[in-house]
Amino acid sequence: MFRKLQSMWDRYEELTAEMAQPEVSGDYTRLQTIMKERSRLEPTAQAYERYRELQRHMAEARELTEDPDMAEEARMELADLAAREGPMLEELKMLLIPPDPLDDRNVMMEIRAGVGGEEAALFAGDLVRMYQKYCDRGGLDLSVMELNDTELGGVTEALMMVSGAEAWARMKYESGVHCVKRVPVTESGGRIHTSTASVAVFPEAEEDELVIRPEDIRIDVYHASGHGGQGVNTTDSAVRMTHIPTGTVVTMQDERSQLQNKAKALRVLRSRLADRQREEARAAQDADRKDQIGGGDRSQRIRTYYFNHDYVVDHRIGLTVPRVQNTMNGDLDPFISALRLAEKTEKLRSLHE
């Protein structure tokens, strides 16, 4: 472990020195590459330096225990330093876990109303707004690519793109079935209903990651429509793209240009197919699918929002967070932080098996 940490520290120092060289600072592309690698190494390098500094202080304290005049004070300091050593080692172990290469990818999110009729659509709309608020407060950018809404303000289906630093690393845990227990606005008798909405999250695929043959795609065009099916334009700008071998269908009418809608639909289709390949490969490697924390099984109920009791439960890790409205206002950090820690802990355990 320490050999690897020293190697990462040496590389971090090497990159820091390179950045100061005139020929590098004048080469924007090279500088950006160096800065990106250095930024990736920085948390581990800084944690390792703090650990080395602790070891130096511990060595000095041990020497002072031999001095009769300083022995008692030195032993107290040594005990204090030793208590900090364990947590530092755990931090370093966590930092050595290989990062997910997809962590910084943009994210596609699909939200669909599930069981519960109009209340399920209203809940799906609440989830769309929840993610918008989370992205606003977390420095991520969320854009709605496609949205089918209802007259009461609900959403039957939404497709969104999330971009920004660690978009996939933060959003991947949201994939699954979300459940709500509350009195719907459509309920006149005050009874609590249970409704669901499904969330599918997958990283955007790179253009060269998956090749889609033109002959495998069927494209249908039609008039884009608005509320109640009213035509919002008189040209065939909306696109329905079907991947014939898998039957995967993407519809897009967000843009006024048919060409732009085709380009967006192709991005979504490529990402869906690449995600499908990753899921199949993951299933082949682990037929039992024991670890669902990182992937977020989309058929699995992952979270329940208890409006009647004013708390939210994440069923994957047994986490209960009070004040459901805070969560609906975009405060997802308690869940995401806990899930990231649980995933890292599981990976660390797997490394030692």
State the Cα–Cα distance between residues 173 and 168, nearest whole angstrom.
9
Look up residue 234 and give its DSSP letter: S
Mean pLDDT, the chain, whole residue set: 87
Q: Is residue 295 pLDDT above 50, yes or no?
A: no
**To which residue do tokens 């005049």 refer?**
69
pLDDT tens, position by position, 232-290 = 444 567 889 999 999 999 988 877 788 888 888 998 999 989 888 887 777 765 554 44
Span 309-313, average pLDDT: 97
Number of C-beta neighbours around residue 167 at 10 A: 25
Higher pLDDT, 341 or 304: 304
Q: Which residue has the higher pLDDT, 285 or 221?
A: 221
Of 127-136, 172-181, 232-241, 310-319, the least confident: 232-241
The dotted CATH code for 107-204+294-351 is 3.30.70.1660
Please state at what angle helix 71-95 crosses helix 28-64, rounded to 10 degrees: 150
Which is more confident, 299 or 40?
40
As a whole number of angstroms, the distance between CA 170 and CA 292 comes to 15
Q: Which residue has the tokens 């009729």?
A: 117
Locus of tokens 């040496």: 10
DSSP-derived secondary structure letter, 189: S
Mean pLDDT across the stretch 323-333? 97
SS3 156: strand
pLDDT at 284: 63
* CATH code for the part of the protein at 2-95: 1.20.58
Q: Which is higher by pLDDT, 350 or 35?
A: 35
Instruction: Name every residue whose Cβ is closer than 8 Å to that of residue 329 and which is 6 or more positions away in sequence.
Output: 130, 133
One fold for 2-95 and 107-204+294-351: no
% of the chain exceeding 70 in pLDDT: 90
Taking the model in full, what pTM does it have?
0.74
Return the CATH class of domain 214-283: alpha beta
Asked if pLDDT for residue 187 goes beyond 80, the answer is: no
pLDDT for 352 equals 59
Given this model, what pLDDT does residue 285 score? 53
| 135-171 residue pLDDT tens | 999 999 999 988 999 988 899 999 999 999 899 999 9
pLDDT at 210: 85
Provide the H-helix boundaries in 139-191. Answer: 167-171
- Sorted by where each begins, the domain ranges of the chain are 2-95, 107-204+294-351, 214-283
The tokens describing 240, both together, are 């329905």
Q: Write the burial class of residue 280 (CB in 10 Å: 0-12 exposed, 13-18 middle, 19+ buried).
A: exposed
